[in-house]
Structure 1
Amino acid sequence: MTEYLPVILPLVWAAILAVGVFIYVLLDGFDLGLGVLFPFAPNHRCRDAMMNSVAPYWDGNETWLVLGGGGLLAAFPLAYSLLLPALYLPLILMLAGLILRGVAFEFRYKADTSRWMWDWAFAGGSTLAALMQGGAVGAFIQGFEVKDNAYAGGPFDWLTPFVLVTAVALVSGYVLLACGWMIMKGDEELRDWAYKVGRYAIVAVGAFIVIFSLWTPLMHEDIAARWFTLGNIVMLSPVPILTALSVVGVWYALEQRWKHVPFLLSVVIFLLCYTGLAVSLFPFIIPPDVTIWDAAAAPESQLFMLYGAIPLVPIILGYTAYSYYSMWHVKDHGYH
């Protein structure tokens, strides 16, 4: 059994990190989307309602970001050492945006004459963090220049047209999640506005999905071969088909003014796009050359950390689920 550990453990840790990152994208995605939409809300009362709807959850959502970063360092130290210099600027700007948003949460509640300033700080921090997350995803997809297990590119190699479009695409996805959230949690006025904005968001998301479905294979021959060889077309066809059906389903749910379906189908769209990304890039953790096995820590280290992760991850899942369950029907959390 022990001779298989170097093969199995990197797969286990890749799955743990993939789940953690996906949960973070969903949970922090809708409250970042709320921040992006914040200045455009119909009135001050709606802005209060938007902030109150995420007040019990927003800081807990970022637990998954910490888990992803810490897990990457511990389980795949080579990947961590390559990603940080390659994405130093977008990651620093993302953290600055998250800090600004967190400060705005607290200061806006206590401010009076300067509340307008913290409104813009909340919106600006959220938008900056969302854009930089999208930029990091785009840079990851396009790949990094690696030589002798070290990053060999420059500090701005990540900044390309593909990355800029990816950044805007992720923001549009976050806005769609935020609209679904407001439809579930808002009053009638806020829901009416969210239904309207959600229609624009789903059109943008659908357009970006088509763009990246064509652009990404053109950038990487390996990805094109993986998706467009005859056998794989049949085997992988459920992913694009279900994605298209989900996009249409969100539009229909918004038109029918359903309450929970737009958010749930938006989650499905994210899951399918995430699955498509995994199919395109696996087994590379640093595209286009470094696999999860190349970047993995020693099997003894990964096994030791797994003993801690086995109880820890369910605990985090449990308290996250309980916080949403216990605070779901509480309307006023004091952020107004």
Structure 2
Amino acid sequence: MDIADVWYWIMAFLLWLYVFTDGFDLGVGILCLHTDDETWRDRMTASIDSVWHANQTWLVMLGGVLFGAFPLVYGTVLAALYLPAGFLLFALMARGIGLEYRAEADGKRPWTKLFGWGSVAVTLAHGFLLGGILQGMAFADGRFVGGRFDWFSPFTILVGVTLLCLYAMIGAAWLVLKTDGELQNQARLWGIRYGSATVAMLVLVLGYIALDGRLGFLVGRPGQAGFAPSFILAMVAAVLCAALYFRALGKGWERRPLLYCAVMLAFVFAAFGGSLSPVIVPPGITAAMAAAPAPMLRIMLAVIGGLMPVLLFYNAYQYRVFSGKTAPHDEVQ
């Protein structure tokens, strides 16, 4: 494994951290659209008040690492995905405005809707960006030569809907941990509903990949039918985690549903990341081709290697400080 491959897996780790942590607070936003009870909404938004800014740290970190370690990817992929990337920025702003203004407004409902639908928009943007990369891009001489709407396809729509279900599933698990009483019971029902939908959507995505021979590279079988054994093994582990998630909800456990969501997501990342490696932009740009010069990667590794433990400790400490249930009277400040 050379230095470019090391950065490939650092990128995968950062992406997993972002999808999981920002996923549950986006999920809370999505679930806010499922109730008209402003008291419940107060508790739901208060549950993420202390962490949602920090969760987006991983997105900033991801963008910085992508720019420094894989400048070819940063320059070419963004050229292909300007529209969904721009949509993501506006959606992030709308979501943040809705959440922050809601805390101070006398009429909370419009701002709650902006927060909720902004969360939906961010999630769909994630799906279009991730799906647009995964389905492969047309490059020639280091330049994108495809169409401006290549990112919009049946596959990227499937990925977007899958993320909507996944984030709501993780958000429900977060609310199970952070709330109690009737809201917690409702969160368990949301968790079962969206957990089932997530599993169903993953099956649809895998079925689409299996039927569309052009996407065989996603599962380590370019030009072949079926799935690679390593991919199957990782997905079986993900399914097992999903089963444990449902069992934990049924048993009334509070911490385990969120834990199983994190591990399930890690196995899904391992399945696709392991199948694609060393390709970083399908179908043909590898990490070595896209990487910055090796001396630069080593300097970055020393810097990021020292910074990452600090960020991880800070985030873990923050979650520790703000652990416990969200009280009924808590509101976002």
TM-score by length of 2: 0.93
Which of 156, 175, 192 does residue 182 from structure 1 map onto?
Answer: 175
Does the alignment pair 1:199 with 2:196? Answer: no
Q: Percent identity?
A: 31
- Please tell me the residue identity of whatever aligns with 1:305: M
| Equivalence for 1:22 | 16
> Does residue 332 of structure 2 align to residue 335 of structure 1?
yes
Kindly provide the amino acid, as one letter, of the partner of residue 192 in structure 1. N
* Equivalent residue in structure 2 for 1:259, among 235, 254, 268: 254
**What does residue range 81-230 of structure 1 map to in structure 2 within 5 Å?**
81-113=75-107, 115-217=108-210, 218=212, 219-223=214-218, 226=221
Q: How does 1:38-117 map to 2 (within 5 A)?
A: 38-41=32-35, 43-113=37-107, 115-117=108-110
Partner of 1:3: none
Q: CA deviation at 1:18?
A: 1.3
Q: Structure 1, unaligned stretches of length 5 or more?
A: 1-6
Could you tell me whether the CA contact under 8 Å between 1:134 and 1:166 is conserved in 2? yes
Deviation at 1:330, TM superposition (A): 6.6
User: Does the residue aligned with 1:285 lie in a helix, a strand or coil?
Assistant: strand
> Which ranges in structure 2 are unaligned for 5 or more consecutive residues?
none
1:267: how far off?
1.5
Once the two structures are superposed, residues 292-336 of structure 1 have per-residue CA deviations (whole angstroms, 9 ceiling, x without a partner) of 000011112212222211111111111000000011127365417
Q: 1:42 Cα shift?
A: 5.4
Residue identity opposite 1:77 in structure 2: P
Q: SS state of the match for residue 221, structure 2?
A: helix
Which whole-Å CA distance do the structure 2 matches of 1:223 and 1:24 have between them?
A: 21
State the shift of 1:253 in Å: 2.2
Structure 1: distance between partners of 2:16 and 2:203: 21
Partner deviation per Cα, 1:214-239 (whole Å, 9 max, x = no partner): 22243323445639899952x55431
1:12 is the counterpart of 2:9: no
Q: Does structure 1 conserve the Cα–Cα contact (< 8 Å) formed by 2:231 and 2:272?
A: no
8 Å CA contact 1:42–1:193 kept in 2: the answer is no
Matching residue's letter, 1:14: Y
Show the 5 A alignment for 1:274-293: 274-293=269-288
Change (3 A) 1:304 1:96: same
CA-atom RMSD, angstroms? Answer: 2.0
Secondary structure of 1:220 counterpart: helix
**Paired residues of 2:220 and 2:276 also in contact (CA < 8 A):** no
Q: For 1:229 and 1:140, locate their aligned partners in 2 and report how far apart those are by CA, in whole Å.
A: 21
1:272 aligns with one of 262, 267, 270: 267
Q: Partner residue of 1:245?
A: 240
Number of the residue aligned with 2:320: 325
Query: Which residue is 2:303 aligned to?
Result: 308
SS of the residue 1:335 aligns to: coil
How much has 1:140 moved relative to structure 2? 1.3
What is the rounded CA distance, in whole Å, between the counterparts of 2:231 and 2:34 in structure 1?
Answer: 39
Q: Deviations along 1:25-53, whole A, 9 cap, x unmatched?
A: 11000000111111212511110000000
Structure 2: distance between partners of 1:224 and 1:317: 31
